[in-house]
Amino acid sequence: MKTKKQKDKILFTPGPLTTSQTVKQAMLRDLGSRDSEFIAIVQEIRQKLVELGQANPGQYTAVLMQGSGTFGLEAVVSSTVPPDGKLLIIINGAYGKRLAKIASVLKIDTITLEYPENTIPNLREIEDTLKTDKKITNVSVVHCETTTGIINPIKEIGGLVAKSGARYFVDAMSSFGAVPVNLHECNIDYLVSSANKCIEGVPGFSFVLCKISSLRETAGYARSVSFNLLQQYQGLEKNGQFRFTPPTHTLTAFHQALKELKAEGGVKGRAKRYRKNYETLIEGMRKMGFKEYLIPEQQGYIITSFLYPDDPNFSFEKFYESLNQKDYVIYPGKVTDANCFRIGNIGKIYESDIKALLVAIRDTIAEMGVKLN
Ligand SMILES: Cc1ncc(COP(=O)(O)O)c(C=O)c1O
């Protein structure tokens, strides 16, 4: 049992997130990686993930990858771009930039279309780039840019990519499970998310939803052994096992998290709770005088960036620390042209938690002597 000292804080972050007791309890057992029960759990997780992508299991598969979300992204970038291929990366935040960094380290021929963090990518420009640069074989974009919380138009971009014949890869790390996505309708070949985001599991693996026909084309493309997506898929298909040690405890927790997602009404039910969290948050923050970084039409309900108050008494470090002392964890901002902090609406948190956070923010601001107008 937890002592008072070990009391969990409430995480209003982009992840890891607050999880349910039952998800944590599901980890409290040791299972061998070749155990038939464990193999059945892995199989069920893979099936359920394809269902969450509203996809036909004959056409799509889920490949699980040890490591955090970035490991799944690196698996896709490193093993689905042909050796002589060219990758177009659409960037409007830190996670798009991370994809470009991965491609650069791997020495993959890359072109980027970069937009400010508060701007939706220009579809016309993407279309023109795909039409004029015939060398482009792969395109990637981030769905919810967790840098700000902006939601990018993955379906519209997918339509353009499909016309060009390139393969399409979406980093849906912070949206999958809470923002509906239909893999086929969005023309997605690869989508990555991880265990500790909107499905509300604990950290330890990422997953890649793959169009099987596209994945099968990639033999010989991989630039690494551990990140070889096709071989990971083939291993899981052959005997249900991971090629290398699986994160068994994380997987049993995730299995439970999927059951809880279903009980909440699936992606729709979860979206409803997160949206309520978001609405409660912005209403309360606006009432206090805080301003959002994004205009409302671009803002998703996953995470919200707020501008620092324009008052010399405000210090993010003090603000953060004081909230932390009250058991509420928020997150720094990552925006280049504005000072921001972020508050996440995801994880096992409810409207009542948001309301409690708002009270703590009001108290903290008063303690700091910050005036909001
Ligand atoms: C959109 C996006 N991509 C990538 C990542 C990186 O995931 P990880 O920190 O699990 O490697 C995150 C993390 O929040 C994210 O939100």
Q: List pLDDT tens digits, range 207-257.
A: 999 999 999 999 999 999 999 999 999 999 999 999 999 999 999 999 999
* Predicted TM-score of the model (pTM): 0.97
Query: What single-letter amino acid sits at 178?
Result: A
pLDDT in tens, 16-40: 999 999 999 999 999 999 999 999 9
Indicate the SS3 state at residue 309: coil
- Using pLDDT thresholds of 50, 70 and 90, give the confidence band for residue 42: very high
For ligand 1, atom 15, name the residue with the nearest CA. 173
Q: How far is the CA of 320 from the centre of ligand 1 (A)?
A: 21
> 299 has which bridge partners?
150
Peptide bond into 16 cis (omega under 30): yes
Length of the chain counted residue by residue: 373
Closest atom, ligand 1, to C-alpha of 93:
1
List all residues 6 or more positions away from 161 whose beta carbon is below 8 Å from its beta carbon. Answer: 130, 139, 167, 168, 187
Q: Among 141, 146, 199, 345, name the best residue to mutate to test ligand 1's pocket (greatest count of ligand atoms within 8 A of Cβ).
A: 146
Q: Among 169, 173, 208, name the best residue to mutate to test ligand 1's pocket (greatest count of ligand atoms within 8 A of Cβ).
A: 173
DSSP string, 155-204: HHHHHHHHHHT-EEEEE-TTTTTTS---TTTTT-SEEEEETTSTT---SS
For ligand 1, atom 1, name the residue with the nearest CA. 173
Q: Which two tokens stand for residue 284?
A: 């309360």
Closest CA to 107 of 129, 78, 133, 136: 78
Indicate the SS3 state at residue 11: strand
Closest CA to 172 of 201, 198, 137: 198
CB of 341 within 8 A of CB of 305? yes
Q: How far is the CA of 94 from the centre of ligand 1 (A)?
A: 10
Residue 6 pLDDT greater than 80, yes or no = no
CATH match for 4-15+266-368 among 3.90.1150.10, 3.30.980.20, 3.50.50.60, 3.10.520.10? 3.90.1150.10
Closest atom, ligand 1, to C-alpha of 196:
10
Q: How far is the CA of 27 from the centre of ligand 1 (A)?
A: 23
| Predicted local confidence at residue 4, as pLDDT | 57
H-state helical runs in 81-147: 94-105, 123-132
Average pLDDT over residues 197-212: 98
- Using pLDDT thresholds of 50, 70 and 90, give the confidence band for residue 337: confident
* Average pLDDT score, the chain: 97
Q: How far is the CA of 15 from the centre of ligand 1 (A)?
A: 8
Fill in the DSSP letter of residue 243: S
CA atoms within 13 A on the CB side of 103: 26
Q: Which two tokens stand for residue 160?
A: 């353009």
CB of 69 within 8 A of CB of 194? yes
Closest atom, ligand 1, to C-alpha of 15:
14
For ligand 1, atom 8, name the residue with the nearest CA. 69
Give the torsion sign (CA, 119, 122, 126, 129). negative
Closest atom, ligand 1, to C-alpha of 172:
1
Indicate the SS3 state at residue 290: coil
CB of 86 within 8 A of CB of 165? no
- Using pLDDT thresholds of 50, 70 and 90, give the confidence band for residue 3: low
Strands (E), 35-104: 60-66, 86-91
CA dihedral 65, 67, 72, 77 (to 10 degrees): -110
Q: List all residues whose CB is within 6 A of at least one atom of ligand 1.
A: 14-15, 68-70, 95, 142, 146, 171, 173-174, 194
Domain 24-263 has CATH 3.40.640.10: yes
Q: How far is the CA of 223 from the centre of ligand 1 (A)?
A: 22
pLDDT in tens, 134-163: 999 999 999 999 999 999 999 999 999 999
Q: How far is the CA of 294 from the centre of ligand 1 (A)?
A: 20
> 304 has which bridge partners?
343
Q: How far is the CA of 193 from the centre of ligand 1 (A)?
A: 8
Domain ranges of the chain: 4-15+266-368, 24-263
Query: What single-letter amino acid sits at 95?
Result: Y
| Predicted local confidence at residue 291, as pLDDT | 97
Closest atom, ligand 1, to C-alpha of 95:
3
Q: How far is the CA of 173 from the centre of ligand 1 (A)?
A: 6
Closest atom, ligand 1, to C-alpha of 142:
1
**Cα(322)–Cα(312) distance, integer angstroms:** 17
Q: Among 12, 64, 181, 194, name the best residue to mutate to test ligand 1's pocket (greatest count of ligand atoms within 8 A of Cβ).
A: 194
- Using pLDDT thresholds of 50, 70 and 90, give the confidence band for residue 5: low
Query: What single-letter amino acid sits at 12?
Result: F
Q: Which two tokens stand for residue 263?
A: 């009980």
Give the torsion sign (CA, 278, 281, 287, 288). negative
Give the torsion sign (CA, 31, 35, 37, 38). positive
Q: How far is the CA of 201 from the centre of ligand 1 (A)?
A: 14
Residue 12 pLDDT greater than 60, yes or no = yes
The alpha carbons of the chain give a radius of gyration, in whole angstroms, of 21
Q: Which residue has the tokens 């939706």?
A: 120
CB of 86 within 8 A of CB of 80? no
Q: How far is the CA of 261 from the centre of ligand 1 (A)?
A: 21
